[in-house]
């Protein structure tokens, strides 16, 4: 399997996962509205579950937001200088961004380990409703907090791919504008 095929499969799988998470989020929200206003009852766990689904969706979708240029960036200086300094700035910015993502992933993982030992309350309620007193233990809150280190790692890997593209452009005599003109090029 080539790197391009893996990349395409990964992106397709991640998109499918994000669609499934959003569909589940919407389903739970609609069920909560129907229960609250239609039956004058409430699902105790729905708000918490929706919050967790939104957290995971947000952190997993950051890579796509980066690719689409929806994350704040300052490109004024890179657009104002010649080709080589612009590529050097893009590489430096990428390296600093990867360092920040790595720090967030590292400390996010540490935090998830420290604060994530209790069971997820929403899933505990769901499991107790389904299985009664003999319900299996719900997963730990660690898995909610793990969205941050995973999302930051995926974003860092995507930025590393851009750094490689910038370095190749430098060697091949291309500019940032040449990369931006090609579809699938790095976001500027």
pLDDT tens per residue, range 105-159: 999 999 999 998 898 887 887 888 888 888 888 889 999 999 999 999 999 999 9
**Residue 1: per-residue pLDDT:** 63
Question: 143 is written with which tokens?
Answer: 């898995």
pLDDT exceeds 80 at position 33: yes
Residue ranges of domains in the chain: 3-181
Q: What is the mean pLDDT of residues 46-52?
A: 90
Q: What is the mean pLDDT of residues 66-72?
A: 82
Q: What is the mean pLDDT of residues 41-53?
A: 88
Residues 6+ apart with CB under 8 A from 159: 66, 94, 97, 98, 101
pLDDT tens per residue, range 158-178: 999 989 999 998 888 887 777
In this prediction, residue 104 has a pLDDT band, given cuts at 50, 70 and 90, of very high
In this prediction, residue 69 has a pLDDT band, given cuts at 50, 70 and 90, of confident
Q: What is the CB-side half-sphere exposure of residue 33 using CA atoms within 13 A? A: 7
How far apart CA 32 and CA 130 sit, in angstroms, is 17
Q: Radius of gyration over alpha carbons of the chain, in Å?
A: 21
Tell me the DSSP string of 73-141: ---HHHHHS-HHHHHHHHHHHHHHHHHHHHHHHHHHHHHHHHH--SBPHHHHHHHHHHHGGGPPPPPBT
pTM: 0.84
């Amino acid at each position: 399997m080539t790197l391009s095929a893996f990349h395409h499969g990964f992106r397709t799988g991640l998109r499918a996962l994000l669609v499934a998470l959003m569909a589940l989020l919407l389903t739970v929200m609609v069920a909560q509205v129907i229960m609250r206003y239609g039956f004058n009852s409430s699902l105790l766990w729905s708000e918490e579950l929706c919050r967790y689904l939104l957290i995971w969706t947000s952190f997993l979708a950051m890579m796509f937001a980066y690719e689409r240029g929806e994350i704040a960036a300052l490109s004024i200086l890179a657009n104002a200088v010649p080709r080589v300094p612009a590529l050097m700035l893009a590489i430096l910015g990428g390296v600093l961004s990867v360092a920040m993502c790595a720090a967030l992933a590292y400390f996010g993982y540490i935090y998830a380990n420290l604060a994530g030992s209790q069971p997820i309350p929403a899933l505990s309620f769901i499991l107790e409703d389904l299985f009664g007193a003999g319900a299996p233990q719900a997963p730990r809150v660690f898995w909610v907090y793990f969205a941050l280190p995973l999302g930051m790692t995926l974003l860092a890997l995507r930025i590393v791919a851009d750094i490689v593209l910038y370095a190749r452009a430098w060697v091949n005599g291309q500019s940032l504008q040449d990369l931006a003109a090609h579809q699938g090029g790095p976001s500027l």
